[in-house]
Amino acid sequence: MTDSMAFSIGDLAREFDITTRTIRHYEDIGLLKPQRSGQTRIYSPEDRTRLRLILRGKRLGFSLEESRAIVDLYDPSHGNVEQLQTLTEHIQQQREKVTRQLRDINKMIKSLDEAEAACRKALKKARKNAPKSGGKKSGKK
């Protein structure tokens, strides 16, 4: 039960709703390095996790290069102290970026709330002025 679970490229494409081309592209630029069985790519659970992180980064608007920095945080190929120190700096940078995103998102949610309220108000007013066939279920609710 050590390395029992493996995935094909199609498995991952289906699971994450992306194309195989996308997955191969990530390999082209060195974000993924699956094993091979002959020609065919074999993805481990770790590869799957890396892919998940990449796609999360994408949803957050990170470039693939930025995602690389994040994914590499979880890579056990960081040994010496200097690397660890630059690593903490990287983490700090990512944290700052993400924190700013959090602020932006909260602002945007607030904006959406306001926009929705204004919209509802306008709709209410419109229905009141011209309830040509819409006055049916017009309980106060």
C-beta of 37 vs 123, nearer to a second copy: 123
Of 24, 108, 135, 138, the residue at the interface with a second copy (CB under 8 A) is 108
Q: Which of 2, 39, 77, 80 binds DNA (CB under 7 A)?
A: 39
Instruction: Give SS3 for 98.
Output: helix
Nearest to 92 by CA among 75, 69, 76, 112: 69
Transcribe 15-53 into DSSP letters.
HHT--HHHHHHHHHTTS---EEETTEEEB-HHHHHHHHH
Binding site for a second copy (CB under 8 A): 53, 56-62, 70, 73-74, 80-81, 84-85, 87-88, 91, 94-95, 98-102, 104-105, 107-109, 111-112, 115-116, 119-120, 122-123, 126-127
